[in-house]
């Protein structure tokens, strides 16, 4: 019995530790925003989407995270446990950006799509503005075909 309790306590401790770590083994997809190439990690399960970019201390400028949902709906994001300032693009099935929001680290402010969308792309804060990408711009890549 003591062995089972010790094993259970160790498993709980490991799970708690894992929740405080960034995701590192997600699949990746190449996206194009005009002439700009994005190397995006894909978060497609509920757990992957919930964790997102939490606990990351840095992210290369050409990288991002693409959140994939089962069907279009209003999507809302916040920055709990997210250490990086991010820009978030809410994207329709055809790759057209519905809206872009700027998000501050470690806040609970809600940032929502203005229309139902199936995809959400997070990049380093200001990435879209620096590249001249705005609502109505279109992303290209395998998810949007």
Residues 26-69: tens digit of each pLDDT: 999 999 999 999 999 999 999 999 999 999 999 999 999 999 99
- Check: CB of residue 65 under 8 Å from CB of residue 39: no
Q: The domain spanning residue 51 has which CATH number?
A: 2.60.120.1140
Per the structure, the complete domain to which residue 79 belongs is given by: 2-144
Query: Cα–Cα distances in Å, from 82 out to 31, 38, 87?
Result: 23, 20, 12
- Check: CB of residue 88 under 8 Å from CB of residue 73: no
Give the model's confidence band at 24: pLDDT under 50 very low, under 70 low, under 90 confident, else very high. low
Give the model's confidence band at 25: pLDDT under 50 very low, under 70 low, under 90 confident, else very high. confident
3-state class of 112 per DSSP? strand
For residue 3, pLDDT over 90 is answered with no
Between 141 and 20, name the one with better pLDDT.
Answer: 141
Of 121, 50, 136, whose CA–CA distance to 88 is shortest?
A: 121
For 67-117, the pLDDT digits (tens) are: 999 999 999 999 999 999 999 999 999 999 999 999 999 999 999 999 999
- Check: CB of residue 82 under 8 Å from CB of residue 106: yes
Q: Which residue has the tokens 């699949």?
A: 27
Specify the number of domains making up the chain.
1
Tokens of 94: 């055809």
């Amino acid at each position: 019995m003591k062995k089972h309790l010790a094993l259970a306590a160790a498993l709980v401790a490991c799970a708690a530790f894992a929740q405080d770590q960034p995701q590192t083994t997600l699949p990746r997809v190449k996206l194009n925003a005009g002439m700009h190439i994005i190397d995006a990690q894909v978060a497609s399960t509920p757990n992957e989407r919930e964790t997102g970019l939490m606990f990351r201390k840095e992210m290369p400028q050409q990288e991002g995270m693409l959140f994939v949902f089962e069907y279009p709906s209003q999507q809302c994001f916040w920055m709990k446990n997210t250490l990086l300032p991010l820009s978030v693009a809410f994207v329709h099935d055809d790759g057209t950006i519905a809206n872009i929001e700027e998000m501050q680290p470690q806040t609970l402010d809600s940032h929502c799509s203005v229309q139902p969308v199936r995809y959400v792309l997070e990049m380093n804060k200001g990435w879209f503005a620096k590249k001249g990408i705005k609502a109505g711009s279109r992303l290209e890549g395998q998810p949007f075909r």
